[in-house]
Structure 1
Amino acid sequence: MSHWDVIIIGTGSMGGAAANALAERGVNVLGLETFEPGHEQGAAHGGTRIIRQSYFESPDYVPLLRRSYELFRKLEEESGREIMELCGGIYIGDPESLTFAGSKLAAELHNLEHEVLTADEIRTRFPTMDPADDALGLYEANAGYVRPEETTIANAEVAARKGATLHFHEKVTGWTITDDGGVEVTTDTPDGPAVYTADKLIVSPGAWAPVLLPELNLPLQIDRMLFHWFTPDYTDKVPAEAWSEENHPVYIEQTHDNDQIYGFPATDGPDGGFKLGFFRNGSPTTADTIDRTVYDHEVEEMRARALELFPALTGPLVQAKTCLYSVTPDEHFVVGPHPDHPQVIVACGFSGHGFKFVPVIGEILADLAIDGTTRHNIDLFDPSRFRA
């Protein structure tokens, strides 16, 4: 039986960042992961994830985002991988919509550089788009995308280089509190069951949270989500260059209560397609029973909605993929000490908008494991808030 300062269950996005942060501080850390770095079984895949600071979900996220930007750049330097690209972002909706008004509120409260564009100005600057006549867009130059697979692999590589021990393809079967106030974790390995002990435990299981944290009774809904890559119809008015990341921002749009969509420029060239998806249009599932087939009617539903904003998005489907969201009722994260076991720190429920916070969540988890507190304000994420 091996003893560690900290064990991490789940070294995907958040857990991998925590392993990196802990190893940098000289902590003897073991990470346990069912899959390989950069796998496609959870939420952190698909090539791109939006990163932005004019945050309509709540202005309280903005300080965390500022720190996250700094740490993404640090991870790029340490890993030598290209992770974050700032191509700009635009958040479009009717004047009262959360997408527009919430983004504007966050930008104004935190003095973020931004522009407000009318529908005509959006059409002129970004000719791929044809928003509703009364729509407004908040444009933020300091936005873009991060690459999730590259991020997860980079954290694993850098953490290992700093001294972390990471076990992949080793599934955790359970954890318990020991008589001395530590923790014990059991796993399945190719050679049979294994047992590890530690002073502290971080549980960052993604969509497997209901399995590994059942005692919390968290009201998590695990949703099967889709994203699609369509080929535009290139014309003289809207050529291939207009869809490229040199000329096109990431975007989020919801106007007059239609289904909110989000997406990216053609980050992999004109043949790679134009990626987009519904932000809140999933179907309940579990991490182990998700249907990975994308059906024709789902593709056509996505295309019909996409055409409302992108009338030239009429070409063939390049590909479509599934992913998993773990959604809380208030759509805020669950990050903090376990309500019943302070030596256990939990991180889950990232509700489809968590990836842009990966490095700062890793820093927070390391703070909590080492010091029991963090300088970052995480009151919004209290794991106890759903208890009666």
Structure 2
Amino acid sequence: MSQQSYDVIVAGVGAMGSAACWHLARRGLKVLGLERFDLGHAMGSSHGLSRIIRVAYFEGSHYVPIVRRAHELWRETGELAGLKLLHITGSLDLAPEGGGPVESSLQSCLDHGLSHEVIDAAEAMRRFPGFQLPAGHLGLWQPDGGFVASEKAIYAHVGLAQARGAEIRTNEPLIDWTPTAQGGVVVRTERGTYSAGRLVITSGGWIADAVPALTRNVATVKQAIGWFSTRRPELFREGAFPVFILHVEEGSFYGFPLYEHPGFKLGGPHFGREPMDPRDQDRTPSETQVRLIRECLARYIPDAAGEPLTLKGCVYTVSPDEDFIIDTVPGVPQAVFASACSGHGFKFASAIGEILADLSTSGHSPFDLVPFSLSRFDA
């Protein structure tokens, strides 16, 4: 097999990998992106038309500087590609008072000076009459939240990267890779062998195959998303309804205003995710997850509780603490990876692509990546 040489090889051209390809190519580097499926496939966690982008972040204030940068980059990338990628709708975190998520989101707002408002259930329903909320719920309203057009975002990153000379090869999964004595890497696929000075691994549910050190610290699970018929679509149109995270006794669910699909999109339940092997080709969501989604709609968003129009499964890669893992491969500083985004990573993809480009070129990032280090699991 012939061997071609590149500055950087990116293994996995989904949300993070496509962004990395763009940020590396725009710096003038010779880039090869390898994707095991078609571009924009539905076998991972980047499909489904839209992904929430929240700035108030109950998962931790340390995420806020990165998501703010992601906001900037989604706008810039959309402008460069001639696409609207970032849709600002406002975001609403809804949870029982004292339950934690609203209080944590509020703390992130206070830590970073974000515009916000705490509202009770009655006010949330007055503003957004599509909701029927328990009396004890609070809402954290943050006007800068919204959603990213997820599939368009991948196409935009790849198109921009190709315009700068990046080579993207689809349906060509990485088989294995080895570091070289000269400080580079050799990557092997079924079609060829390639060499590069640096390797970026962003292969989602398959990442432990390429980074065995992750085997004990990542798990792959399947999450359900669905689009459902609405009785009153005017309540849920973009401009009238926000993106939201809803914490209720049935679980944690996330939803969107109507966008491109005639159905109302709801995903969840967050803690009802089911372990799976990503090599299993079946992406049909489980009956249990779909039942819980429909029960959530019937009880809390009844005007969107019609029959399902589309049901899909997403593969998530989850870490034990549900924080990301962004690091170099142990003992191989020329190989960097991003993984285990635990179901809340897409919004960051534009910025994580830039971070991976920084780590690949200078070895440093302007962001504090200590919370995302692999070594935290050794403590």
1:265 corresponds to which residue?
257
2:236 corresponds to which residue?
243
Matched residue type, 2:243: V
1:310 deviates by 1.2
Please state if 1:40 is matched with 2:48. Answer: no
Mapped contact 1:263–1:277 kept (Cα < 8 A) = no
1:346 deviates by 1.2
Among candidates 115, 118, 130, match of residue 117 of structure 2:
115
Query: How do 1:174-189 and structure 2 match up within 5 A?
Result: 174-189=176-191
1:273-308: CA deviations, max 9, x gaps?
343332231110111115322355543222112223
1:85 corresponds to which residue?
87
1:159 deviates by 0.4
1:320 deviates by 0.6
Query: In structure 1, what is the Cα distance between the partners aligned to 2:239 and 2:341?
Result: 30
Query: How do 1:340-355 and structure 2 match up within 5 A?
Result: 340-355=331-346
Equivalent pairs, count:
377
1:299-334: CA deviations, max 9, x gaps?
322211222321333321111101101000010111
1:82-136: CA deviations, max 9, x gaps?
2110011110111222321111111111111111111111111111111110111
2:217 corresponds to which residue?
219
Mapped contact 2:236–2:264 kept (Cα < 8 A) = no
| Structure 1 spans left out of the alignment, 5+ residues | 235-239
Mapped contact 2:177–2:186 kept (Cα < 8 A) = yes
The TM-score with structure 1 as length reference comes to 0.93
For residues 384 and 295 of structure 1, do their structure 2 counterparts lie closer, same or farther at Cα, with a shift above 3 Å needed? closer
Matched residue type, 2:215: N
Mapped contact 1:224–1:290 kept (Cα < 8 A) = no
Query: In structure 1, what is the Cα distance between the partners aligned to 2:367 and 2:221?
Result: 29
Please state if 1:199 is matched with 2:192. Answer: no
Query: How do 1:138-153 and structure 2 match up within 5 A?
Result: 138-153=140-155
Among candidates 252, 261, 266, match of residue 275 of structure 1:
266
1:208 deviates by 0.4
Query: In structure 2, what is the Cα distance between the partners aligned to 1:287 and 1:147?
Result: 24
Query: How do 1:286-301 and structure 2 match up within 5 A?
Result: 286-289=277-280, 291-301=282-292
Query: In structure 1, what is the Cα distance between the partners aligned to 2:209 and 2:215?
Result: 10
Matched residue type, 1:67: R
Query: In structure 1, what is the Cα distance between the partners aligned to 2:289 and 2:321?
Result: 26
Query: In structure 2, what is the Cα distance between the partners aligned to 1:385 and 1:295?
Result: 33
Mapped contact 1:218–1:386 kept (Cα < 8 A) = no
1:160 corresponds to which residue?
162
1:7 corresponds to which residue?
9
% of aligned pairs identical?
35
Mapped contact 2:85–2:152 kept (Cα < 8 A) = yes
1:342-365: CA deviations, max 9, x gaps?
111011111100000011101100
Query: In structure 2, what is the Cα distance between the partners aligned to 1:43 and 1:126?
Result: 29
The TM-score with structure 2 as length reference comes to 0.96
Query: In structure 1, what is the Cα distance between the partners aligned to 2:164 and 2:315?
Result: 30
Query: In structure 1, what is the Cα distance between the partners aligned to 2:12 and 2:336?
Result: 12
1:237 corresponds to which residue?
none
Query: In structure 2, what is the Cα distance between the partners aligned to 1:275 and 1:314?
Result: 10
1:242 deviates by 1.1
2:317 corresponds to which residue?
326
Secondary structure of 2:337's match?
strand
Matched residue type, 2:255: G
| Structure 2 spans left out of the alignment, 5+ residues | none
Secondary structure of 2:342's match?
coil
2:30 corresponds to which residue?
28
Query: In structure 2, what is the Cα distance between the partners aligned to 1:296 and 1:346?
Result: 34
Mapped contact 2:225–2:265 kept (Cα < 8 A) = no
Query: In structure 1, what is the Cα distance between the partners aligned to 2:144 and 2:283?
Result: 34
Mapped contact 1:265–1:275 kept (Cα < 8 A) = no
1:258 deviates by 4.1
Mapped contact 1:37–1:149 kept (Cα < 8 A) = no
Matched residue type, 1:307: A
Query: In structure 2, what is the Cα distance between the partners aligned to 1:284 and 1:300?
Result: 18
2:137 corresponds to which residue?
135
Secondary structure of 1:22's match?
helix
Query: In structure 1, what is the Cα distance between the partners aligned to 2:173 and 2:63?
Result: 33
